[in-house]
């Protein structure tokens, strides 16, 4: 069996997700197909002897969507890290959100103007539009504004009717059908008015005016586009916790090129490259120390609070921070093979995987839209049989189409899963899959298999024990802080941080706290000496 990830475009609701899943699952050799509406991708496990990626892409295209193999899309031999893939997807979602926002704002402005022409005259404002000589002009303006709004929101019609023709209608189909029927009926009313003006039939003119539903067509797509925009914003925020994981990876690295080390993008590092790591820098890739030594904070990866000393021959992991020392490492794992990329992939895969309850929602969404279309048709026929006008019957049928949206059903569970797994990863808890997350509801006992794993990830002084009465605790802490003031070691920093928290007096000079000078060492601020505040000075105190 082989696993591949495909980017899928054109999906807008849970019914789209269900349609793509059905299309791919029907192929011989496909073991499983998990389609994520949030990530806009699909993870397929298949037998390469029975089916290939091209056939999978064709099956998705036949359903009315498009799919592209992720590796094929890069078109490069350069290994792309999970962080880079995630950032590309986040950028795509951000652009999608901005595009929806622009369309929504334009539609709202035009809709407000359209309502002034269609609704205000009925309330006595701009009532002259109800006069015979202005009715036709008012109707034409309404049709023009409605047409512009429908053009701005044309994605509903291209996606909706495309999927309908492929036999897999979705939420866009409901919106497209509802707004199209409203617009066509309004256009019929406009033609009726034109005929009435030609025959000077005032009753026919007023009848046609009452049949104008241009504002309904525009209102439908605008309100649904508001929901789409809010949905896109929700999708963009679900990855906030995952973004913090991605931010652990440095953007650049100092790699040896010729006789010098030059700064290049971290994604351009190749296996075998020599990378220089300076104090305070994060490690871009996995590798082995070949020169020098350092003290690494690996808490972001391992959860261990104590820094680890690394010397020649020791392995180092990406996203670790070099606290002290400088060394040169040889890259062994780059791109998607690094430890951080594997963690990001695991969290992302868990967020996009489906829990049993989500699979149930997919099944319901798959039959939801056809059922709604049927109910809408029955509603139309039922009101006509009951003796009501075609306008009233259309209003009722269109209402059924518009209010029936399975997106909440299909999005609520995936959103909850993605937020939960991302937030857990932020605190160092990795969840293998959505199914495991759902099973956690039954857990009543948590057992930790290693002492010291649940830590803050930063050494700190928690107590002070003196063996002798020569110094009290404050004096001893002052001496220890003075001795450690020039060190960058994590334990030395812990001593200095503790010294900062308490006022001390030693050698007859009162000082409060320690601070880092421009050179990186620590100095003392004196208040009794009469010096101006802000003067930095190092002072050695000998005990008598």
Return the active site residues. Answer: 449
CA distance 212 to 154: 21
- In angstroms, the Cα distances linking 408 to 62, 252, 356, 404 are 26, 41, 17, 10
Measured between its terminal Cα atoms, the distance across the chain in Å is 77
Cβ proximity of 338 and 318 under 8 Å: yes
3-state helix/strand/coil string of 20-54: HHHHHHCCCCEEEEEEECCCCEEEEEECCCCCCHH
Burial of 252 (0-12, 13-18, 19+ CB in 10 A): middle
User: What is the distance between the alpha carbons of residues 26 and 46, in angstroms, rounded to a whole number?
Assistant: 12
**Is residue 84 classed as helix, strand or coil in its secondary structure?**
helix
Structural contact between residues 222 and 104, judged by C-beta atoms closer than 8 angstroms: yes
How far is Cα 319 from Cα 302, in angstroms, rounded to an integer?
11
CA distance 425 to 523: 39
Structure tokens belonging to residue 369: 């839209």
Please list, in sequence order, all residues whose beta carbon lies within 8 angstroms of the beta carbon of residue 134, skipping any fewer than 6 positions away. 128
Cα–Cα distance for residue pair 223/476, rounded to 1 Å: 70
Give Cα separations from 241 to 42, 82, 428, 493 (angstroms): 22, 15, 11, 29
User: Chain-centre distance of CA 12, in angstroms?
Assistant: 16
Q: How many CB atoms lie within 10 A of CB 488?
A: 15
Are 296 and 326 contacting, i.e. CB atoms less than 8 angstroms apart? no
Tokens 């979705």 belong to residue: 170
In sequence order, what are the beta bridge partners of 328? 276, 291
Give 258's DSSP letter: T
Query: If you write DSSP's letter for every residue of 326-373 in order, what string do you get?
Result: EEEEEEEE-GGGSHHHHHHHHHHHHHHS--HHHHHHHHHHHHHHHHHH
Tokens describing residue 114: 């359209």
Q: Are strands 274-277 and 504-506 parallel, antiparallel or unpaired?
A: unpaired
- Which residue is it, tokens 């929700």? 234
Alpha carbon distance 407, 426 (integer Å): 28
Strand order in the sheet with 2-9: 30-36, 41-46, 2-9, 66-69
Contact 239, 352 (CB under 8 A): no
Spatial CA neighbour of 89 closest among 307, 352, 317, 438? 352
Return the SS3 of 287.
Answer: strand
């Amino acid at each position: 069996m082989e696993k591949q990830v495909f980017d899928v475009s054109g999906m807008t609701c849970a019914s789209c997700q269900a349609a793509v899943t059905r299309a791919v699952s029907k192929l011989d050799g496909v073991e499983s197909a998990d389609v994520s509406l949030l990530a806009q991708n699909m993870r397929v496990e298949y037998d390469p002897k029975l089916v290939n990626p091209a056939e999978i892409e064709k099956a998705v295209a036949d359903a009315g969507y498009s799919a592209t193999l992720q590796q094929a899309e890069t078109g490069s031999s350069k290994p792309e890290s999970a962080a880079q893939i995630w950032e590309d997807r986040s950028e795509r979602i951000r652009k999608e959100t901005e595009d929806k926002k622009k369309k929504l704002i334009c539609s709202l402005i035009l809709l407000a103007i359209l309502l002034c022409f269609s609704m205000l005259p009925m309330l006595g404002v701009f009532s002259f539009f109800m006069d015979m000589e202005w009715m036709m002009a008012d109707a034409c303006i309404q049709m023009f504004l409605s047409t512009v709004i429908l053009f701005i929101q044309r994605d509903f019609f291209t996606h909706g009717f495309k999927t309908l023709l492929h036999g897999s209608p979705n939420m866009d189909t409901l919106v497209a059908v509802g707004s199209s029927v409203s617009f066509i009926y309004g256009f019929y009313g406009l033609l009726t008015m034109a005929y009435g003006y030609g025959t000077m039939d005032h009753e026919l003119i007023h009848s046609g005016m009452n049949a104008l539903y241009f504002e309904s067509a525009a209102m439908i797509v605008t309100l649904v586009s508001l929901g789409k925009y809010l949905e896109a914003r929700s999708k963009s925020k679900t990855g906030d916790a995952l973004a913090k994981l991605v931010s652990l990876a440095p953007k650049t690295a100092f790699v040896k090129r010729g006789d010098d080390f030059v700064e290049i993008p971290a994604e351009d590092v190749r296996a075998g490259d020599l990378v220089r790591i300076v104090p305070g820098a994060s490690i871009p890739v996995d590798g082995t120390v070949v020169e020098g030594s350092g003290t690494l904070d690996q808490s972001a990866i391992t959860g261990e609070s104590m820094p680890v000393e690394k010397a020649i021959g020791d392995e180092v992991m990406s996203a670790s921070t070099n606290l002290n020392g400088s060394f040169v490492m040889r890259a062994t794992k780059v791109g998607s093979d690094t430890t951080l990329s594997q963690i990001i992939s695991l969290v992302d895969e868990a967020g996009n995987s489906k829990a049993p309850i989500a699979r149930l929602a997919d099944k319901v969404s798959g039959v939801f839209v056809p059922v709604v279309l049927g109910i809408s048709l029955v509603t139309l026929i039922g009101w006509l049989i009951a003796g009501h006008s075609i306008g009233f019957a259309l209003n009722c049928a269109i209402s059924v189409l518009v209010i029936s949206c399975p997106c909440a059903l299909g999005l609520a569970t995936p959103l909850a899963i993605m937020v939960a797994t991302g937030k857990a990863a932020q605190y160092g808890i990795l969840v293998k899959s959505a199914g495991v997350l759902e099973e956690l509801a039954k857990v009543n006992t948590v057992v930790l298999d290693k002492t010291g794993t649940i830590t803050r990830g930063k050494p700190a002084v928690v107590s002070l024990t003196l063996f002798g009465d020569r110094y009290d605790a404050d004096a001893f802490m002052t001496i220890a802080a003075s001795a450690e003031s020039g060190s960058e070691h994590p334990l030395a920093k812990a001593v200095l941080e503790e010294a900062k928290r308490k006022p001390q007096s030693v050698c007859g000079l009162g000082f409060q706290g320690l601070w880092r000078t421009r050179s990186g060492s620590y100095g003392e601020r004196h208040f009794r000496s009469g010096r101006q505040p802000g003067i930095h000075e190092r002072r050695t105190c000998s005990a008598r």
